[in-house]
Structure formats: C-alpha cells, structure tokens
Amino acid sequence: MNMDQYLRRLPKVDLHFHLAGTLQPRTLFDLARKNGVNLPNWDETKIYDFRDFYDFLEVLECIARCIVSKGDFARVSYEAMRDAARAGNLRYAELFFNPQYHYPQGISYATMVDGYIEGLEAAQKDFGVEGRLIPSINRELGAGAALDMVRDVVGQPRDRVIGLGMDCAEYKGKPHLFVEAYAMARKAGLRCTAHVCEDNQTLEQAPPSHVMDCLDLLGCDRLDHGYNMLADPAVVRRCRDCGIACTVGTHTCIASRMQKRWDSVRKMRDAGLNLTLATDDPPMFGTDIGQSYVTAHEWLGLSAAEAADLALAGVDATWLDDGEKRDLRRSFSDEIAALKAELPAQPADG
C-alpha cells in the first residue's frame, strides 16, 4: 500500500458538505432533463468551471432547482454518500441542505428532508456510512426568511436533523442579523454553525469580527471556513483558546485560489486552531474526501500519523453524543492501526 492509498483508506468524517454541491455532472444532467431545467451548459468538462465565487453560487442554486421530487432528494443523498464512501472511506457525515433553494418551486420541507433521509438510510445499509443533516440558512435572503425556515425546521423535527448552518455570500447577510433565528434553533436543541470569514470574499466583506459575532451572538458550536480570521490575532487566540472546530477545505471554486487556501490552512494549523478537513462541494471543486487528505499530505506536509490524527480529531468535532463518539473513535483507531501496519515505515513518523 502506498501513501496515496493509505490516505484514501483512512476512515473519515466530513462535517461540511452541501448536498446540492455533490452531484456528479451526469446525475445533474439527468435530473435537469427530467425536471425541465435549463442549465448554463451541458458539457461535463465545463459545467463546474466558474468565473468567481458568485458565479459558483448561481450554478449551485440552478442545481438545486433540478432536485424536485422526494425520489430526487433521495437519489442525491444516496449518491453523495456512496461516492464519498468509495473515494475516501467516509464513515460519518453532517450534510448541509438549503430549504430556501427549494421553496420557490413549491417543495415542502417534509419532501426534501424525508427524501434526503431516505437516501441516507439506503446508503447506510449499502455502504456502512452514516449521515446527519444540517438545514442551512441562505443569508442573502435576510432575517425574516431565515426565521420562517427555522420555524419550519423546528416544527417538523427529525432524528437525523441535528443542527443549523448558514451559507451563501457573507457580506449580503452578516451574522448579527440572524440572532433570532439561531436562538430559536438552539432553544429547540439544534447545534449551530455558520460559514464565516471565507477567503473568496474580501476582508471588508468577511472580516474577523464576524467570527466573534458567530460565537457571542449566534452561539455557534463550530465554524465553517474561518480563513480571514488570520488578519486579527486576537480572534485567532479566542478560537484557539475555546477550541472551537473549524471545518476547512483543501479545495475551492477557483483553481487559481487554491495556493492561498493552503497557505491559510497551514497558518491556522500552526496557530493551534482545531481544524477538520471538509470537501464543501466535492465534484464542483474537483475533489472528494480521499483527494482532500491526499492534497493535505502534498501541500500541507501532513505525515501519515498526522493525517490519522486529523481523521480522529474529526470524530471529536462531530455532533454525535459522547457514547457515539467513543464508539466511532474506537472503530477509527482499530482501522487506522491496521492500515499503519500495512504502510512502509515513514521517516517523518520515526
């Protein structure tokens, strides 16, 4: 077994990936044809080629319009888990979906959430990978629409729905606007996270102070991205000291921005932040959870042992309860020990 195979076979969690961002082009074209949606192009090699972050968000919304029936939702979550289990031994995931992408088509919250759950259950049976769901606020639509969505979520609880997230363009919906929506979610027992300080937005658009607002005003238990916080050492210290996990990606929507991303992730690691690797929108960004660990090895210099530690740290960053975490940790540790025994000795690991 070589290093590449070892990294792909490590058992993993992924705590930040968007269901609408997981469609392979062929599945997307299939659903678009079935549901009569016109795509920007029908070329497998171009559909995930973006001008910038805002172009990417537009394509993502267009993809969401292709997912219509309960069966479509089930297909998307099933294939997402199948692909990640095969490509990178994904064992557990917390997946985002945006109810607000689907409301304009008259799709009920129950249709989407129950469709997604059906796909997760089938994937668990077929591939042994478990998934839980995080409905995510589209911050661009404002506070009132967010409250309506959270009301829908808390009014129709499901065991697999465990948290609340928030995504889309940060400067169009700053964290402080969503205090009420987050309070409602927390009161209903949901855990909370938010996209914040993403590096495809400027420091003015996504400043480090937004991290403080996510912690102090929204009560976030975890953060998605966080790179721009590096501009303010006091914010970095706060996150390091409280140990909050940041889900960071090795890939983003524009290939030319990847080097900057890796530099930021390396600095965040060096600063002692609690990081967990995530794929965000895997086929749209040209990755999968296995490839993300390979990239972290190549570009962040992670050794075999450090990659295993990162996979294990991911378990602690999940929103599983303590008993479930213990069980998952134990099964990861056993699997990792067996894999390490197959790997030729690594100089960096002694």
| Interacting residues with ligand ADE (CB under 6 A) | 18, 21, 60, 167-168, 195, 198, 280-281
Residue 6 amino acid letter: Y
Cross-sheet strand order for the sheet of 195-196: 195-196, 222-225, 245-249, 274-278
In the chain, where does DSSP find H-type helix?
3-9, 25-35, 53-65, 70-88, 99-102, 109-127, 142-155, 179-187, 209-216, 233-242, 258-270, 282-285, 289-300, 304-316, 322-342
In terms of CB distance, is 14 or 281 closer to ligand ADE? 281
Of all residues in this chain, which one has the CB nearest to ligand ADE in the complex? 167
Nearest to 201 by CA among 254, 272, 244, 279: 254
Q: Among the candidate windows 26-34, 38-46, 278-286, 306-314, which touches Zn ion by CB under 5 A?
A: 278-286
Q: How far is the CB of 278 from Zn ion (least distance, A)?
A: 8
For residue 250, what are the contacts with CB-CB under 8 A and spacing of at least 6?
258, 261, 262, 265, 277, 287, 291, 292, 295, 296, 299, 300
Chosen from Zn ion, ligand ADE, none, partner binding at 198 (C-beta under 5 to 8 Å by type): ligand ADE
In terms of CB distance, is 258 or 339 closer to ligand ADE? 258
- Retrieve residue 258's tokens: 């990847």
Chosen from Zn ion, ligand ADE, none, partner binding at 199 (C-beta under 5 to 8 Å by type): none
In terms of CB distance, is 21 or 175 closer to ligand ADE? 21
Q: Decide: is 199 part of the binding site for Zn ion (CB under 5 A).
A: no
In terms of CB distance, is 280 or 288 closer to Zn ion? 280
Q: Decide: is 280 part of the binding site for Zn ion (CB under 5 A).
A: yes
In 195-257, where does DSSP find H-type helix?
209-216, 233-242
d(C-alpha 97, C-alpha 103), whole Å:
12
d(C-alpha 259, C-alpha 293), whole Å:
16
Q: How far is the CB of 44 from ligand ADE (least distance, A)?
A: 20
Q: How far is the CB of 324 from ligand ADE (least distance, A)?
A: 27
Q: How far is the CB of 280 from Zn ion (least distance, A)?
A: 4
Q: Decide: is 130 part of the binding site for Zn ion (CB under 5 A).
A: no
Q: How far is the CB of 334 from ligand ADE (least distance, A)?
A: 33
CB 214 within 8 A of CB 174: no
Q: Decide: is 94 part of the binding site for Zn ion (CB under 5 A).
A: no
Residue 1 amino acid letter: M
Give the number of residues in contact with Zn ion, rule: CB under 5 A.
1
For residue 104, what are the contacts with CB-CB under 8 A and spacing of at least 6?
none
Chosen from Zn ion, ligand ADE, none, partner binding at 14 (C-beta under 5 to 8 Å by type): none
Q: How far is the CB of 167 from ligand ADE (least distance, A)?
A: 3
Nearest to 312 by CA among 120, 304, 77: 304
In terms of CB distance, is 6 or 97 closer to ligand ADE? 97
In terms of CB distance, is 10 or 134 closer to ligand ADE? 134
The burial class, CB within 10 Å (0-12 / 13-18 / 19+), for 232 is middle
Q: Among the candidate windows 31-39, 42-50, 86-94, 280-288, which touches Zn ion by CB under 5 A?
A: 280-288
The burial class, CB within 10 Å (0-12 / 13-18 / 19+), for 154 is middle
Chosen from ligand ADE, Zn ion, none, partner binding at 60 (C-beta under 5 to 8 Å by type): ligand ADE
Q: How far is the CB of 281 from Zn ion (least distance, A)?
A: 7
Which parts of this chain interact with Zn ion (CB under 5 A)? 280
